[in-house]
Amino acid sequence: MDINEILKRCDHTLLKQECTCEDIAKLCDEAIKYGCASVCIPPCHVAGAKRYVAGRMKICTVIGFPNGYMTTAAKAFEAADAVSQGADEIDMVINLSMVKDGCWSELLTDILAVRAKTKGKILKVIIETCLLTDDEKIKLCEIVSRSGAEYIKTSTGFSTGGATREDVKLMRAHCALAVKVKASGGITSLQDAEDFITLGAERLGTSKAVKLAIEMEMEVAAREATSAVAEEAPVLEVPCAPECATEDEKVEEY
């Protein structure tokens, strides 16, 4: 798969607690240059990033991140605030306590409260697959399908594991066709990215794809520079060795 096909599905992501405005600007520049789907950044950077990209890139942010156990009202407020700051896409974390207690109706209400504040924007629901049983994953596929969210997402990248091929395949099989899958966390190679896309992921949450694209550019530039130097190098003419003189010639020269 062409790397550009992978990049256009990537939410170029930076969610480290210590990221700076300079880091976010660099992330935005890279996402614009390489044609990513969006940048996924902390809520506090949304307004600044929105001004910086000036319509050249979608801004995605996270709600209830990374644990998801704040109240529904708090998540709804976060979502409304993020939209008011300029977020185009919202990635929310579900309440895993509700999952483990089997409070499915309350969990749906939790998602719907965020959906109500994000109408007209893309909503992705993070279910944190590494903490779930397969039965819980299947049930969540059903609930997310009922919620009106556009995406179901595997992971925050802040828990015990990230996306797996098995989980992406399971989610694609059990979600409504209108619900897309986002694989996030643990995508370390172009092969990983291609595999997830082949299995049904429409989006990838990663910063690695852009890093790999930059590395490939640097390798190509290095090869071209080496080739150019080789072409420009002067050709040294080595004089031919004189033919050996015959014995008569040696005598005459003497």
Residues 65-123: pLDDT tens digits?
999 999 999 999 999 999 999 999 999 999 999 999 999 999 999 999 999 999 999 99
pLDDT tens digits, one per residue of 14-67? 999 999 999 999 999 999 999 999 999 999 999 999 999 999 999 999 999 999
Token output for 161:
């594991």
Q: What pLDDT does 228 receive?
A: 67
Lookup result for tokens 């996402």: 31
Of the candidates 102, 99, 41, the one whose C-alpha atom is nearest the C-alpha of residue 68 is 99
Q: Choosing from 75, 139, 182, 208, which is the catalytic residue?
A: 182
Closest of 195, 177, 176 to residue 186, by C-alpha: 195
DSSP 48-84: HHHHHHTTSS-EEEEESTTT--S-HHHHHHHHHHHHH
Confidence check: pLDDT of 237 > 70: no
Of residues 10 and 219, the one with the higher pLDDT is 10
More confident residue, 238 or 23: 23
pLDDT grade, residue 252 (50/70/90)?
Answer: very low
Active site residue 81: no
Tally of CB atoms within 10 A around 212: 18
Q: pLDDT-derived band of residue 251, with 50, 70 and 90 as boundaries?
A: very low
Q: Which of 153, 180, 192, 208 is catalytic?
A: 153
Q: How confident is residue 233, by pLDDT bands cut at 50, 70 and 90?
A: low
Contacts with 231 (C-beta within 8 Å, 6 or more apart), sequence order: none
**Residue whose pair of structure tokens reads 């050709």 in the numeric block:** 235
Q: What is the pLDDT of residue 15?
A: 97
- Min mean pLDDT across 92-96, 199-203, 227-231 is at 227-231
Position 254 scores a pLDDT of: 27
Task: Please give the full DSSP string across 194-210, using - where no structure is assigned.
Answer: HHHHHHTEEEEEESHHH
Q: Is 149 helix (H, G, I), strand (E, B) or coil?
A: coil
**H helix and E strand count, the chain:** 11, 8
**How would CATH label the architecture of 63-218?**
Alpha-Beta Barrel (3.20)
Tokens standing for 229? 């130097």
91 is catalytic: yes
Contacting residues for 5 by C-beta, under 8 A, at least 6 apart: 197
Digit-coded pLDDT (tens) for 111-166:
999 999 999 999 999 999 999 999 999 999 999 999 999 999 999 999 999 999 99
CA dist 11 and 47 (Å) reads: 18
Would the CA dihedral through 198, 204, 208, 209 be positive or negative? positive
Q: Give the Cα separation of 106 and 112 in Å (integer).
A: 10
Q: What angle do CA 54, 47, 44 make, to 5 degrees?
A: 145
Q: Span 172-189, mean pLDDT? A: 96
Catalytic annotation on 153?
A: yes
pTM of the model: 0.87
Mean pLDDT of the chain: 92
For residues 8, 10, 14 and 20, what is the CA-based torsion angle, rounded to 10 degrees?
Answer: 10
From the candidates 91, 110, 167, 192, which is the catalytic residue? Answer: 91
